[in-house]
Amino acid sequence: MSQDSPERPSVPLELPGPSLLQQKAPLFEQLQDCARRTTAPFHTPGHKAGQGMDASLVDAWGEAMLRADLPELPELDNLFAPSGVIAEAQVLAAQAFGAEQTWFLTNGSTAGILAAILATCGPGDAILLPRTVHCSVVSGLILSGARPVFVAPAYDALSGLVGGLAAADVAQVLEQHADIRAVMLVAPSYEGICGETGAIAHLCHGRGIPLLVDEAHGPHFGFHSDLPPRALSLGADLAVQSTHKVLSALTQAAMVHVRGELVDRDRLSQSLALVQSTSPNYLLLASLDLTRRQMATQGEQLMAQTLTLAWEARQRLSLLPGLWVVSLPDDLPGFTALDLTRLTVDVRGLGLSGFEADEWLCHHHGVIAELPSLTQLTFILSLGNRSADIDRLVSGLIELCEMAEGRNRIAPVKLPQFDDGVPEVACTPRQAFYAKQKVMGIEQAIGHAAAETVCPYPPGIPVLLPGEVVTVEAVAYLRQIQAQGGVISGCADETLATLRVLV
């Protein structure tokens, strides 16, 4: 299925009547009641409804917000043993997001991913994963001691984009490793690509093991028929969503959703308590409650508007010579759907790297992409964008094309770690984390096992993992990213002069 010229998204004429319950926001409403009360506060936080706060912050952010920055007062329930307004808000969220049970997270999808791994895998248990996991998954492997069985994801040589896992590859690896306890997928990818989640769920369930999906970039899925389906609706047992990345929740506010019996829900609750603060931020929690209400009552309409903006941007940008708005490749396993609210624009034809184009657009037009890479820029369009943003994006890119006229096209960039299979590993990430380590010049480190994660951020997909053997290609790729202005994170020496390796 090609989405080169996707059809104009359909706008629902009639909104389905949301249940009356979905129009409530129990957690937000209770928080506001508490914030309006005048009390003699002898509890945390220390600023006491803003009274003790630095005046600049009160001026800048307003008193109302500070009055709502409250702790777990009896009326406000307890995130780790919910029985009041949090429990009510989570039930409504589960209904709205197609789950049987939902947990609110105040430490992003990161917390959900850590807890999902801790709840399903113990030390030494095998978990099947694409090599393109986010670095939070690596943290989950270190914390749990789970043994990753990495599978190379699908790769589109034309665009350089990485897709999901092909079900045939997963089937083969499951046959070879009868001890795999769980499978985790990333769907969608940062660029909005979804793989073969439904077929992989079927394979997992045939073996009685859960399918966990990092759906950090897909909390809007399922709210419009032109968006890819939700992982849970395709058979996933658990999905983690960064509500803050794409919907209207505050930064760090996220959710984990579960269906079925393959994930032990008590163990998931226990694991979430291990990785989250005992002082969850109620502003974040209340923003999740309101986002749920917004999506349950207006989600389809809002997504129709976003899809229309994205469609218009795609049409206008595809007319610009030298730019390529990347589409879903035809008939490639591991590439089953594309979230059309993600625009990935390939700038190789302009003779620029994604990093150079990003800097120019930001400096000259205030257009800020989510993800610059060596060859592309990915823009997230969401319910917060307006047509003026699209006009600015398009005029910025028109001028970028004019500025770059006459340059030579940049050659394709090969991602060393993904299209030639998965790299050799010396030990698990946890063993590497606790092993004796030493620091070496990065060139001398080639052939040794890395002791740390080395990760261009964004997208946060590690090029080197703890325990993985350092290759010439990986070092060259990192150097190239660094030379173009990309940010490298995760490692002690971010200049990449040195690397920690295993002794």
Residues at the contact surface with ligand PLP, assessed by CB under 6 A: 108-110, 113, 134, 136, 186, 190, 214, 216-217, 242, 254, 459-460
E strand map for 243-387:
254-258, 324-325, 337-338, 342-346, 371-372, 376-380
**What are 382-386's contacts with CB under 8 Å, separation 24+?**
382/220, 382/246, 382/247, 382/306, 382/341, 383/220, 383/247, 383/248, 383/302, 383/303, 383/305, 383/306, 384/248, 385/306, 385/309, 386/309
Are 115 and 271 contacting, i.e. CB atoms less than 8 angstroms apart? yes
Whole-number minimum distance, CB 249 to ligand PLP, in Å?
10
Residue nearer to ligand PLP on the CB measure, 105 or 258: 105
Alpha helices, H only, 97-240: 108-120, 135-144, 167-176, 197-206
**Rounded-to-10 torsion of CA 432, 437, 438, 442:** 10
Residue nearer to ligand PLP on the CB measure, 50 or 112: 112
Nearest residue to ligand PLP, scored by beta-carbon proximity: 108
Residue nearer to ligand PLP on the CB measure, 30 or 344: 344
Residue 375 neighbours by CB under 8 Å, 6+ apart: 160, 346, 347, 348, 353, 354, 410, 412, 413
Whole-number minimum distance, CB 254 to ligand PLP, in Å?
5
CA 228 to chain centre: 15
Whole-number minimum distance, CB 304 to ligand PLP, in Å?
25
Residue 314 neighbours by CB under 8 Å, 6+ apart: 6, 325, 340, 343
Question: Rounded to an integer, what distance in angstroms lies between the CA atom of residue 102 and that of residue 285?
Answer: 13
Residue nearer to ligand PLP on the CB measure, 244 or 348: 244
Residue nearer to ligand PLP on the CB measure, 88 or 214: 214
Are 92 and 296 contacting, i.e. CB atoms less than 8 angstroms apart? yes
Whole-number minimum distance, CB 68 to ligand PLP, in Å?
22
Whole-number minimum distance, CB 460 to ligand PLP, in Å?
5
Among 73, 93, 72, which Cα is nearest to 26's?
Answer: 93
CA 321 to chain centre: 31
Whole-number minimum distance, CB 344 to ligand PLP, in Å?
14
Residue nearer to ligand PLP on the CB measure, 227 or 455: 455
Residue nearer to ligand PLP on the CB measure, 113 or 463: 113
Residue nearer to ligand PLP on the CB measure, 163 or 396: 163
Residue 193 Cα distances to 169, 297, 348, angstroms:
18, 27, 20
Whole-number minimum distance, CB 191 to ligand PLP, in Å?
11
Question: Rounded to an integer, what distance in angstroms lies between the CA atom of residue 257 and that of residue 184?
Answer: 14
Whole-number minimum distance, CB 50 to ligand PLP, in Å?
27
Whole-number minimum distance, CB 104 to ligand PLP, in Å?
13
Whole-number minimum distance, CB 395 to ligand PLP, in Å?
28
- Tally of residues, the chain: 503
Tokens 């989600």 belong to residue: 299
Residue nearer to ligand PLP on the CB measure, 213 or 296: 213
Residue nearer to ligand PLP on the CB measure, 320 or 326: 326
Q: How many CB atoms lie within 10 A of CB 36?
A: 10
Are 350 and 376 contacting, i.e. CB atoms less than 8 angstroms apart? no
Among 405, 445, 449, which Cα is nearest to 427's?
Answer: 449
Whole-number minimum distance, CB 341 to ligand PLP, in Å?
15
Residue nearer to ligand PLP on the CB measure, 66 or 117: 117
E strand map for 45-116:
101-105
Residue nearer to ligand PLP on the CB measure, 12 or 384: 384
Whole-number minimum distance, CB 238 to ligand PLP, in Å?
14
Are 450 and 501 contacting, i.e. CB atoms less than 8 angstroms apart? yes
Are 134 and 387 contacting, i.e. CB atoms less than 8 angstroms apart? no
